[in-house]
Amino acid sequence: MAATLQLQIKVGDPRPIFRQIVDGIGLAIVSGELQPGDQLPSVRTLGMQLSINPNTVARAYAELATKGLVDSRQGLGLFVGQRKQMLNRGERNKRLQSAVQRCVNEVMHLHFSDEEVLKAMESQLAALHGTQKKGLG
């Protein structure tokens, strides 16, 4: 049976809908909410659940497969893959830099001190590790 996914799509988000799905499922995998071997809902089911075009879901699934986060089994559907890092160090670093850059752009005009920003970042990471442990245990 396919896993149930608690995804929320925000229309009017700067991220296109397919990107929100990729991010949402990626996060569910990292946080342990989805375990290796879990089956993802079909393209049509997730499309209906989110009231979006199924082709958009298909695009998101294709990207997750390219990233190596999910494996497709012929005729059976998509399954969460074993956790492995597909990207090389250079690419990972590039993505880290661009994500941090976006974050800095977002917060720079909010007039927080650097310490406050770093602290907020640390507490988010701590929360993530917390759910990860729970998910695995």
Partner 1 sequence: MLRNVIETRGLCKSFDRKQALHQMDLCIPAGGVHALIGSNGAGKSTLFRILLGFLTADSGDCLLLGQDSRQLTPELRGRVGYVNEEHTLPDWLQVQRLKAMQQQLYPQWNDNVYRQVVGNFDVDPTQRVGSLSRGERAGVNLAMALAQSPELLILDEPTLGLDVVARQAFLEAILFCTQSNTTVVYCSHQMDEVERLAESLIILERGEVKVNCSLDEFSGRVQQWMVPAESRELVLQKVPQLLSSRVIEDHLWMYVLDAPPAFASQLKLLGIAEATGASVSLPDAVRAFMTRHHAGQE
The site for partner 1 (CB under 8 A) is made up of 9, 11-19, 44, 47-48, 51-56, 102, 105-106, 108-109
Indicate the residue among 21 and 34 with the shorter CB distance to partner 1: 21
Indicate the residue among 32 and 54 with the shorter CB distance to partner 1: 54
Give least dist CB 4 to partner 1, A. Answer: 19
Q: Is the dihedral of CA 120, 8, 54, 41 positive or negative?
A: positive
Beta strands in the chain (DSSP E): 70-73, 77-80
What tokens appear for 127 in the block?
């929360």
φ/ψ of 50, rounded to 5, equals -100, 0
Give least dist CB 41 to partner 1, A. Answer: 14
Indicate the residue among 112 and 122 with the shorter CB distance to partner 1: 112
Q: Closest Cα partner for 86 from 107, 70, 75, 74?
A: 70
Give least dist CB 106 to partner 1, A. Answer: 7
Give CA–CA dist 65/80, Å, rounded: 9
Indicate the residue among 34 and 52 with the shorter CB distance to partner 1: 52
Give least dist CB 133 to partner 1, A. Answer: 33
Half-sphere exposure of 32 (CA within 13 A, CB side): 11
